[in-house]
Amino acid sequence: MNSHTTLAKFIHWTFTLLYAYGIFKQVDDLTELEDASLLNFEIMFATIFLIIVLIRYFYMKDTPTLLGAHEDVPKGHLFIAKTVHRLVYFSLIMLPTTGLLIAGLFNLGMGGVEIAIALHEFSAFLSYVVIALHVGATLYSRIKGEGLWNAMVPVWKESGKNNSNLLSKLEAIEEKIYKKVEDKFI
Ligand code: HEM
Ligand code: HEM
């Protein structure tokens, strides 16, 4: 059965912790940056975060999406999954980049910090939305027992496809959505 590499799993799960830490330790407002050691720490954290995201992106970019799926995945489904993964990467690149922009403008005492903060807040918001979608979709797939959970998640392993009336109805709706996406985008 196809599985992501040990390194891919290691990066996925350590990065999840790094992201959670970044979100919890967030700066509350601009005046906190007057503390030089905090400002330096933020700059270092954002730089390391950005480097890890980029390394991860290049390491993963040629790995097939939904790698562990037992059955052939419709093109429309793959398109949606890839789009969400790309949006996750986009938000994870924007977060440290706009953070560094805030730091740069703040250090130079230049105007425009408000715009950088607005972009930073938007990046945080986008990351919440797309990561919630990602986790929600993964849990849904886990309930269906499609196989891709086992390829990335080391716990609560699936044992095979689950069938129920409700799942068949949901699958019929999914098929329609994938067809629409295929007609429009592929
Ligand atoms: C905590 C709950 C999470 C679960 C259960 C989960 C599960 C998964 C699974 C099963 C895959 C493989 C999908 C495939 O084969 O295409 C995957 C991939 C991925 N996950 Fe998560 N994930 C979680 C959290 C996160 C978080 C917090 C992030 C971002 C910070 C994230 C970012 C990604 C990305 C970008 C991929 C695509 C593969 C890659 O480039 O590494 N995930 N995840
Ligand atoms: C990867 C690195 C970073 C992460 C994950 C991160 C995350 C966050 C989050 C989640 C927020 C709250 C946004 C909201 O209200 O929705 C925030 C706010 C803020 N961040 Fe960051 N940040 C990072 C780097 C930086 C850096 C390098 C700076 C500047 C030195 C910075 C300065 C700020 C400021 C000033 C705010 C407060 C904005 C306000 O006034 O509401 N951040 N950050």
Q: Supply the residue whose CA is at minimum distance from atom 34 of ligand 1.
A: 85
Atom of ligand 1 at shortest distance to CA of 141?
10
Tell me what pLDDT residue 72 has. 94
**Helix residue ranges per DSSP H, the chain:** 6-24, 36-60, 75-108, 113-144, 148-152, 165-185
φ/ψ region of 109 (left if φ > 0, alpha if ψ in -120 to 50, else beta) reads left
Model confidence at 110, in pLDDT bands (50, 70, 90)? confident
Segment 93-105 shows an average pLDDT of 98
Of ligand 1's listed atoms, the one at least distance from the Cα of 64 is 16
Assess whether pLDDT exceeds 90 at residue 98: yes
Which atom of ligand 1 lies nearest, measured to the CA of 65? 16
Q: Evaluate: CB of 113 within 6 angstroms of ligand 2.
A: no
Question: What is the Å distance from ligand 2's center to 84 Cα?
Answer: 23
What confidence category does residue 184 fall into, taking pLDDT thresholds of 50, 70 and 90? very high
Nearest CA to ligand 1 atom 38: 60
Segment 83-92, tens digit of pLDDT: 999 999 999 9
Whether residue 103 has its Cβ less than 6 Å from ligand 2: yes
Mutate which of 18, 33, 48, 120 to test ligand 2's pocket (most atoms within 8 Å of Cβ)? 120
Averaged pLDDT of the chain: 97
pLDDT digits (tens, 9 = 90+) for 9-30: 999 999 999 999 999 999 999 9
Mean pLDDT of 157-181: 97
Sorting pLDDT into bands at 50, 70 and 90, what band is 1? confident
118-to-90, 109, 112 alpha-carbon distances in Å: 16, 17, 10
Instruction: Report the C-alpha gap between 18 and 10 in whole angstroms.
Output: 12
The pLDDT assigned to 34 comes to 95
Q: What is the pTM of this model?
A: 0.95
